[in-house]
Structure 1
């Protein structure tokens, strides 16, 4: 697809996207096809709920901040996890993101599997409640309408130490005028 939407890419909300679910969000695309649509997780919405409160067996593997992140507005009562592993092997309980990704060896974790299956392989892990989803053609339409920038991701984006600053950080590293968007005020009416 020529819109750039692909697994491993980031959807970065433009300043004109004012939906509270996605305002200043950075979404990692984890599935994208022309039959099912697109699924992603918001990377920069940490909650105050500790991982050990909802998934105690996975808490010691969670990368700080060791809280559950709100992955999107859909199915908030379900959880999914992303983990980064070294090497080329694909351990049981972990599935690499398909596609040509720039986010390194990041994949989805089977949270129903015992953590011991992959604990020795996990470099970083983050747990998300819910996800973001778009029907076929819906996200492409939103991109065409100027709601999202579709940008390459980096391995550190998924596990950013300061997730609240991820929107600015991703934009700041872009070339040209797009880097200036990182300085867009939170409330332009106060300028």
Structure 2
């Protein structure tokens, strides 16, 4: 059994927040920007945390905005909504074919997964990449803010897999991620969005 949160609800053992973990929104998530979202954490330090929502495809084709990347992005070939901050900018997540060959413009996050600078010429990176997805905006938290949200029961914190940011079925990603967790966490994948129905 886990500990209890501030409201006295039973909690599970928490994975430490670090680059590469996933935040899966709990049904109690109060912020509509993050309802049913899955966030990949990219950076964590004393100044706060930064991540990108990986399960919100938009209707905008990558080719419309980043024509040079159109043939390198994974299906569906659309921009994903990465979060409410800086939505007029974009960042790319990429998975390398080989962790020994790190191309120009690539910053590792965990293992072969990292952030790719979209200013990098495509011919310098295309042979090094196995997966690519582009996100408009990101999610950000100030010092202590994410920790408070986790303590209040807004997020499950779980390990990621390299393929998580590139799945075709974005809508069911949160439940799929929880389903593969050990023990008590797996049954949370069946909880209704309205916790009053549970």
RMSD: 1.6
Q: In the alignment, is residue 182 of structure 1 matched against residue 193 of structure 2? A: no
Q: In the alignment, is residue 89 of structure 1 matched against residue 96 of structure 2? A: no
Q: Displacement of 1:45 after TM fit?
A: 0.4
Q: In the alignment, is residue 173 of structure 1 matched against residue 186 of structure 2? A: no
TM-score normalised to structure 1 length: 0.91
Partner SS, residue 38 of structure 1: strand
Higher helix proportion (structure 1 or 2) = 1
- Per the alignment, residue 88 of structure 2 pairs with 77
8 Å contact kept, 1:93–1:117: no
8 Å contact kept, 2:101–2:128: no
Partner SS, residue 143 of structure 2: coil
- Per the alignment, residue 40 of structure 1 pairs with 51
Instruction: Give the whole-Å Cα distance in 1 for the aligned partners of 2:124 and 2:162.
Output: 22
Q: Displacement of 1:189 after TM fit?
A: 5.9
TM-score normalised to structure 2 length: 0.88
Q: 2:60 aligns with which of 49, 52, 56?
A: 49
Instruction: Give the whole-Å Cα distance in 1 for the aligned partners of 2:159 and 2:58.
Output: 25
Instruction: Give the whole-Å Cα distance in 1 for the aligned partners of 2:94 and 2:57.
Output: 16
Q: Which runs of 5+ in 1 are unaligned?
A: none
Write the mapping of 1:2-151 to structure 2, written as runs, cut at 5 A: 4-34=16-46, 36-87=47-98, 88-97=100-109, 101=110, 104-151=111-158
Q: Would you say how many aligned residue pairs link Structure 1 and Structure 2?
A: 184
Partner SS, residue 94 of structure 2: strand
Kindly name which structure, 1 or 2, has the bigger radius of gyration based on alpha carbons: 2
